Structure 1
Amino acid sequence: MYALKIKRLVVCLVTAFLAVVYDSAGQIRYLRTPAITLKPDTTLAFIAASQDSIANDTLFQIRSKEGYPMAYFRKVRTSVCFDNKCRLLKVNLYWTSTGRYLGFNLPKGEFLSKAEHKPFTPAEYERMSELLADPLSPLATLSYAELAPQAKPADKENEVDGVSSATAKNVLEYVVEGAAYTTYKMWHVVYGSTQEDVARLTEKSLSPDFILAILDSPDLTDKIWALNHIRGFVALTPALQKALLGLISTTDYNLAERAIYAFSAGDLKSEVIQRALLAKFREANYALKKLIISKLKEAPLLDVQVKKAFTDDLKSLNTELISNVLDLFRKHKVADIDTCRTIAELLTNKNELIAKKAFAYLDAIVVTDVLIEKHMKEYRAKK
């Protein structure tokens, strides 16, 4: 994939959902919420690396003056056919910088049509856009032939083509009625190989500030995409670190989990980050507490203050979290006397699972403390 040219583009990228409108050029346009809302500046044209059924292989990238990819579009010109009857579909499809469906517009004078070439109503354009916005649509697993019942050669009344209303009942929920094949074709272009091309192009432009811009998106999938493209893609700046920590809350588990994941082992060299995660541990729910303990296993070295805090917590945590902390200590080969004495106190815990795990921990290291040896001897005697 490579850039062909750079040119100016004036495009209506909006920050909220719109009904079908006619823009200043007389084109029907329907756009959803973009991932970032900076002012469009330039457009780059690329040859799509992936091949699909669309003849035009040019993928356009809309950039802001900061150089951030804001959106992508393709000029789709393809036949929508059934029973050797075709209608040419002319539509421009748009993606966000994260590959999410953004919308479509039609060249001046063009319109989407259904049975008997009747133009779409505004409600049908809106429905089309809603259907295209569903990445989990059953259209993904349907074949072209399954969209409508096969008409008998002599049954002219039920004869169907690409814009017919004779749609199979089980797929009516997922298509614009009377335009099943148009819906199917457009959906498969949106979620086909172009989406992969968009992701590859955006990845080439990733930076901490660009990630922060995407994290401001009101769309959850954009935020998740950004969080998945931090670790191994961009350096963790103070601003990005603050944003990640801000997402670790009980408000949204999916965002919190991805934010925790985004910290790399290299990031965890910082005692500041480790202590910040400890602070989050204090206010987190049970599920997030487990994730934070697991994340700290990736640290090259466990911070002394963090280790002491978890040691002090051993007497108050529940069974699973005690087990998780002991696994954390084992990963970091914690064997200082103060920590081991606290672990030794667990040998008298009423929960046998805790006592057994504490003994296994102490038995696997060299213990030279008289008090610890006494606790271990008493534990053995009870067996």
Structure 2
Amino acid sequence: MKISFGLNYSLKFVKIPAILAICCICMSFIVLEKSAKKRVEKAFTAYIKDSVQVEVALMYNRENLPDRYFSPVVTPVCEEGICYELVVDVYWDLLGNFLEYKESKEDPFTKFDHIRFTASDHQKMKDILADKTSLLANYEAKDLVDPRVEIKSDVIDGVTGATYKSLSGAVVKGAVYSSHTLWHIVNGIISAKIFEHTEKLLNDDLLVQMLQSSNYNQQFYALNKIDVEKKEFQPYLFDLLAKGESYVPFFAIEKLPESIWSSAEYQERSAELLPELEFKMQNEVLNKLMGKAVVREALRSLIKNSKGLRDNQIEKVFTILRENRKNLENKEMDKLADILYSENTTLSKNAYRILSEIKPQNKKVNQKVKSYERRIN
């Protein structure tokens, strides 16, 4: 029989024997491994609520590297002497951060009065579980509701208190006890043990995988673990300038050794990368190239990509070009001459200035320069 009691979620009013729970866990691992055709192995055993045993598995990807952790959780939730079973599959990343959960088809998530979770309820729950700084960390379940305000259930003969307004944002409305229970399962001892387990598995391949992930926490963690002087890490570190999440690109660019910016390969890559970067990171890259001996290929890319930059960035590009004017040859002169016709006056004026300073021995370029002079005079 399924019931909804107070603000609790719907769960079976039957205690599953320990042996049945263990069998369910084992079967989950077997089915998961067969369906995914990837390696899955037991990582560790944890105990929640002091006595509830939880088996946590480590799932590997197709490259046979650790990918994520998984646990089929079966735990009692007790309120006012009545206990229910919570059945849910939970997934964490390699550092113990919540990724997702999958509800049981037989025991779907419900809230007050046995109402099924909506899509927005599930999203709210996932947002709650992903927040390690949640207010739920500081409260016992009984402290989340105000017993002075009673809410009567239309499904069972019972009442419960209303959630305190100051805490309403920290729980799914109508599912306060499931929010509290699941948050502590996801972000408690299991999360800490996952982090410890992953640290024992660390190697260069796993760090590279973290750098290449789209997970901010893993990118940042690997960024602080790698030896930046190792050349094998440098391509992945450089890729973070464009692919890093949140503030990772700014940490990555500071981690790159100075030798990178004197390298012909990375000078050209950084110049080609400019259109893909946001404004602040464009400035960081240009600042790194200023004062360096820059190769022709990179100078050519800087000229080509200067059209999409702001005025102060254009000034930086032409500072770099002037510092390396000896490396500017016919191809670069042609591109600068084309810029003379740009509607951006900062571009055209800078192109004219540097061409006037260099005085190239190129008839076609000189004709364009003279044409520009007639236009502005």
> Secondary structure of 1:48's partner?
strand
1:148 corresponds to 2:145: yes
Structure 1 residues 288 and 194: CA distance shift in structure 2, 3 A: farther
1:43 corresponds to 2:40: yes
Amino acid of the residue matched to residue 110 of structure 1? D
CA distance in 2, matches of 1:124, 1:114: 9
CA distance in 2, matches of 1:175, 1:72: 24
> Secondary structure of 2:125's partner?
helix
Structure 1 residues 242 and 164: CA distance shift in structure 2, 3 A: farther
Are the aligned partners of 1:50 and 1:197 in contact in 2 as well (CA < 8 Å)?
no
Amino acid of the residue matched to residue 214 of structure 1? M
* Matched length: 252
Segments of 5+ residues of structure 1 without an aligned counterpart are 13-23, 25-38, 293-304, 306-383
In the TM superposition, what is the alpha-carbon distance from 1:250 to its structure 2 partner?
Answer: 12
> Secondary structure of 1:229's partner?
coil
CA distance in 2, matches of 1:255, 1:161: 54
In the TM superposition, what is the alpha-carbon distance from 1:260 to its structure 2 partner?
Answer: 5.7
Q: TM-score, normalised by structure 1?
A: 0.53
1:213 corresponds to 2:209: yes
In the TM superposition, what is the alpha-carbon distance from 1:148 to its structure 2 partner?
Answer: 0.2
1:243 corresponds to 2:227: no
Amino acid of the residue matched to residue 88 of structure 1? E
Equivalent residue in structure 1 for 2:120, among 118, 123, 130:
123
Aligned to 1:204: 200
Amino acid of the residue matched to residue 188 of structure 2? G
CA distance in 1, matches of 2:197, 2:114: 37
Provide, for residues 117-168 of structure 1, a one-character-per-residue CA deviation record: whole Å limited to 9, x for no partner.
333233322321222222232222233232101249xx7849x999957211
Are the aligned partners of 1:214 and 1:226 in contact in 2 as well (CA < 8 Å)?
yes
Identity across aligned pairs (percent)? 26
> Secondary structure of 2:39's partner?
strand
1:101 corresponds to 2:94: no
CA distance in 2, matches of 1:200, 1:161: 46
1:84 corresponds to 2:81: yes
Are the aligned partners of 1:72 and 1:97 in contact in 2 as well (CA < 8 Å)?
yes
Are the aligned partners of 1:76 and 1:91 in contact in 2 as well (CA < 8 Å)?
yes
Structure 1 residues 101 and 84: CA distance shift in structure 2, 3 A: same
Structure 1 residues 10 and 87: CA distance shift in structure 2, 3 A: closer
1:62 corresponds to 2:54: no
Amino acid of the residue matched to residue 58 of structure 1? E
Structure 1 residues 113 and 65: CA distance shift in structure 2, 3 A: same
Provide, for residues 280-305 of structure 1, a one-character-per-residue CA deviation record: whole Å limited to 9, x for no partner.
9999989979xx9xxxxxxxxxxxx9
Q: TM-score, normalised by structure 2?
A: 0.53
In the TM superposition, what is the alpha-carbon distance from 1:175 to its structure 2 partner?
Answer: 0.8
Segments of 5+ residues of structure 2 without an aligned counterpart are 1-25, 275-279, 294-377
Which stretch shows the higher mean deviation, 201-210 or 250-259? 250-259
> Secondary structure of 2:40's partner?
strand
Aligned to 1:366: none
Aligned-residue CA RMSD (Å): 4.5
Equivalent residue in structure 2 for 1:224, among 220, 224, 241:
220
- Aligned 1:1-383 pairs, distance under 5 A: 11=32, 41-48=38-45, 53=50, 55-151=52-148, 157=152, 166-231=162-227, 236-238=230-232, 240-247=233-240, 254-259=247-252, 272=259, 275=262
Are the aligned partners of 1:6 and 1:43 in contact in 2 as well (CA < 8 Å)?
no
Structure 1 residues 145 and 287: CA distance shift in structure 2, 3 A: farther
Structure 1 residues 52 and 163: CA distance shift in structure 2, 3 A: farther
Structure 1 residues 105 and 125: CA distance shift in structure 2, 3 A: same
Structure 1 residues 215 and 161: CA distance shift in structure 2, 3 A: farther
Are the aligned partners of 1:85 and 1:161 in contact in 2 as well (CA < 8 Å)?
no
Provide, for residues 34-70 of structure 1, a one-character-per-residue CA deviation record: whole Å limited to 9, x for no partner.
xxxxx76121113336765461231111112433111
CA distance in 2, matches of 1:251, 1:59: 29
Structure 1 residues 246 and 119: CA distance shift in structure 2, 3 A: closer
CA distance in 1, matches of 2:104, 2:247: 39
In the TM superposition, what is the alpha-carbon distance from 1:9 to its structure 2 partner?
Answer: 5.1
Which aligned runs of 4 or more in structure 1 are off by greater than 6 angstroms?
Answer: 5-8, 160-163, 249-253, 278-289
CA distance in 1, matches of 2:218, 2:51: 26
CA distance in 1, matches of 2:84, 2:49: 19
CA distance in 1, matches of 2:253, 2:158: 48
Aligned to 1:336: none
Aligned to 2:10: none
Provide, for residues 184-213 of structure 1, a one-character-per-residue CA deviation record: whole Å limited to 9, x for no partner.
111111111211221222223323332222
Are the aligned partners of 2:129 and 2:186 in contact in 1 as well (CA < 8 Å)?
yes
In the TM superposition, what is the alpha-carbon distance from 1:176 to its structure 2 partner?
Answer: 0.9
